[in-house]
Structure formats: structure tokens, C-alpha cells
Amino acid sequence: MIDQRTSGSEPQLPNEAPSPALIAAQPLQAKYPATSSLESVAALVRHRRRLKMLRFAVFEVLALGIMVASALAGVSARFAAESLTPLFRVLPISAAIVAVILPIFFFGDPKRRNRRRP
């Protein structure tokens, strides 16, 4: 028996695994039941925006955690070896730079957003 539920023109046998695109679309369709294609596009945009914000938050927390941990390790007596001193001077500064650049990388330069083009 052939299963005709897929959106493609090729039929699938019931014992075959569904395509990855079909698997990826199923949770989104179940989570955001839409009555029109415009609503489904809007739901997809909201879903992608949430994922983007979640990725940003994870990377920002990671950068700030590295910055704080390396700053604390740099001032502690436990890591006072001379071979580690340059690392603990550079690592907090580079982590702070990454934490500042991450919003620009994820969300774009705010100065360019409303710029008029000649």
C-alpha cells in the first residue's frame, strides 16, 4: 500500500522513513496551526526569531561566563604562575570584545538599519 500524505509527487511506502523536511515541518505545523499561508509564514518568522534570540542568549552567557571566570582566575593566587599571566590578561579582554560584538553579529548594526541609500 502506498502512502500519499507527502507533499511531493513521489509516493512513499509505509515502511519508509519520512523525509527530513516533512519531519521538520510537523512540529511547527502542530504548534502553529494556521488558517492561511500568510499566518503560517508569520508563525515561521516568529519561530526563527525565537531560535535566533535563544542562540544569542546562549552565546552571550557563554562569553560573559568566560570573561568572569578568567578575570577571577587571573586575580586568584592559585593561578599565579608566570606562564599563565599573559593568558589571564588577554582572555577577559577578548571575551568582553566578543560579548560586545555578538549583538551586532546576531541583530545587525543599528546605525545602518534606517540609513537612506542614495
Q: Give the whole-angstrom CA distance, residue 26 versus residue 17.
A: 14
The reply to whether 11 falls in a domain is no
Please state, for a pLDDT cut of 90, what percent of the chain lies above it: 26
What is the average per-residue pLDDT within 5-26? Answer: 53
Using one digit for the tens of pLDDT, what is the confidence trace for 56-114?
999 999 999 999 998 888 888 777 778 888 888 899 999 999 999 998 888 887 676 56
The reply to whether 8 falls in a domain is no
Q: Count the domains in the chain.
A: 1
The reply to whether 118 falls in a domain is no
The reply to whether 32 falls in a domain is yes
The reply to whether 1 falls in a domain is no
Q: Containing domain of residue 54, as a range?
A: 20-113
The amino acid occupying position 9 is S
The reply to whether 69 falls in a domain is yes
